[in-house]
Amino acid sequence: MTYELYYWPEIQGRGEFIRLALEQAGADYVDVARGEGEDLPGLMHFMKDKSVPEPPFAPPYLKAGDLLIGQTANILLFLGGRHGLAPAEEGGRLWTHQLDLTVADFLVEAHDTHHPIGSGLYYEDQKPEAQRRAADFLAHRVPKFLGYFERVLARNPAGTGLLVGKDVTTADLSMFQMIAGLRYAFPKAMARIEPQHPGLVALHDRVAALPRIKAYLASPRRIPFNQDGIFRRYPELDP
Amino acid sequence: MTYELYYWPEIQGRGEFIRLALEQAGADYVDVARGEGEDLPGLMHFMKDKSVPEPPFAPPYLKAGDLLIGQTANILLFLGGRHGLAPAEEGGRLWTHQLDLTVADFLVEAHDTHHPIGSGLYYEDQKPEAQRRAADFLAHRVPKFLGYFERVLARNPAGTGLLVGKDVTTADLSMFQMIAGLRYAFPKAMARIEPQHPGLVALHDRVAALPRIKAYLASPRRIPFNQDGIFRRYPELDP
């Protein structure tokens, strides 16, 4: 079966968490709105067409045979179970999902550094608020989240340097993406904060070196970070 | 087995979504930090004690035998499966979870109306920003989210007036709580917006009338809405 991923074609955004899981799974997938068969109407169909009984609120969503699955962490839950990117037993599966959901919370806060007032407004219309929010995010929230995930790494009874058990999970892939994104958006702050979280830095490097992820990152399938995504580099937010 | 719910004792907050599911399930549970056995150290233990191998980032979390489950939607996924508050088959289970996650996104935005800059700051330190964010939330986000869930109701092939299939799910309970919270926080705006979403208003009333939920809402176990929770009534944010 070929999965169909529906996401905006020009950003990493939330879709990137799904792309990383599909790539690490070695799954057969089409990124529907991108490339030769570029299909934005197809992307919009599932949100807009009245014939869709279970419409997603927003991309990304994944078509897997008859299933249409929305919400990033929900898709990861599904793919993790199908492709061994989460433990098979209930406790490990829920724990991995819990970590994916905590990454999702962290991601919203990263987004809101440049859009603290309204996602429908331009950044330029909320710059003073963005500066306050980004300062709070970098001073308090980034250390809190990274400190949390560093503790999770340290306490993993398997002692593998991974977040869950012995094998790579969606949580590891998602944490890689968070760190990569934070480095892009806040290079100065991350240079200060990172050394306090050596386990996460090592995890980032380890995920980047996984053969399938390494090949993906070097391919044109990996969209570069840019100023339309969730992670954006505004120097005034990273003084 | 008696579930142990860990959440702040003086607010509804995110814990309320779990309380509603436990009540509708008729489950045996202890709200650990509340009531006679009030146990805040117990609440903090799982976040702070180094002996906990899978620490939650924040309350609520649920102890279910040997399992310790964090993240509100993850707990609902677990309870939904155990207590028939979600369809048993994979597609329905994922769809219910997708809706719960979309409610969770909506809830963050409701919270951020009074804390758009930093959750560690006082409301009084971010009032001008809160006014801008709340205005955007009420003008754009509330209609968008409610419109979405109204469509989901309308398209439910079972035509039951519920969000998923024929039976009450965690998504219905969570939507009830969202509407109740929005009414508390933004009574004027909701009086304007609600009439456009009659299906959701009917769903709210239907959930409130479920025998177990009705008994719960009338009991001292239901903490009243207050100004420390996620939903807060600041008249200046609902002009």
Residues contacting A190, CB < 8 A, separation 6+: A179, A182, A183
What secondary structure letter does DSSP report for A209?
T
Q: Closest residue of A to B148, CA-based?
A: A57
Query: Which has the closest alpha carbon to A92: A170, A24, A199, A151?
Result: A170
Determine whether the interchain pair B98/A71 forms a contact, defined as Cβ–Cβ distance below 8 Å. yes
Region A51-72 average pLDDT: 96
- Tens digits of residue pLDDT in B20-61: 999 999 999 999 998 666 778 888 899 889 999 999 999 999
Two tokens at B61? 């979390």
A112 neighbourhood in chain B, CB within 8 Å: 112, 116
State CA B111 to chain mean position distance: 12
* Res B5 pLDDT > 70: yes
pLDDT score at B47: 86
pLDDT score at A145: 98
Domains along the sequence of chain B with CATH: 90-210 (1.20.1050.10)
Count CB atoms within 10 A of the CB of residue B178.
22
Of residues A48 and B113, more confidence is placed in B113
Region A164-186 average pLDDT: 98
This complex has an ipTM of: 0.97
pLDDT score at A79: 98
HEC states along chain B? CCEEEECCCCCCCCHHHHHHHHHHHCCCEEECCCCCCCCHHHHHHHHHCCCCCCCCCCCCEEEECCEEEECHHHHHHHHHHHCCCCCCCHHHHHHHHHHHHHHHHHHHHHHHCCCCCCCCCCHHHHHHHHHHHHHHHHHHHHHHHHHHHHHHHHHCCCCCCCCCCCCCCHHHHHHHHHHHHHHHHCHHHHHHHHHHCHHHHHHHHHHHCCHHHHHHHCCCCCCCCCCCCCCCCCHHHCC
- The shortest C-alpha distance from B218 to chain A (Å) reads 32
**What percentage of chain B exceeds 70 in pLDDT?**
99
Residues contacting B39, CB < 8 A, separation 6+: B32, B33
- The shortest C-alpha distance from B220 to chain A (Å) reads 30
Determine whether the interchain pair B74/A67 forms a contact, defined as Cβ–Cβ distance below 8 Å. no
pLDDT score at A36: 67
Question: Which member of B78, B105, B151 has the closest CB to residue A94?
Answer: B78
Region A191-212 average pLDDT: 98
Of A11-20, A112-121, B30-39, B216-225, least confident by mean pLDDT is B30-39
What is the torsion angle, in degrees rounded to the nearest 10, for the CA atoms of residue B197, residue B107, residue B90 and residue A53?
30
- Tens digits of residue pLDDT in A134-156: 999 999 999 999 999 999 999 99
**What percentage of chain A exceeds 90 in pLDDT?**
93
- Tens digits of residue pLDDT in A215-236: 999 999 999 999 999 999 999 9
- Tens digits of residue pLDDT in B192-201: 999 999 999 9
pLDDT score at B48: 87
pLDDT score at B40: 81
* Res A40 pLDDT > 90: no
Signed CA dihedral, B96, B97, B100, B102: sign only: negative
Region B160-165 average pLDDT: 98
pLDDT confidence of A47, banded at 50, 70, 90?
confident
Region A23-32 average pLDDT: 96
What secondary structure letter does DSSP report for A36?
T
Determine whether the interchain pair A117/B94 forms a contact, defined as Cβ–Cβ distance below 8 Å. no
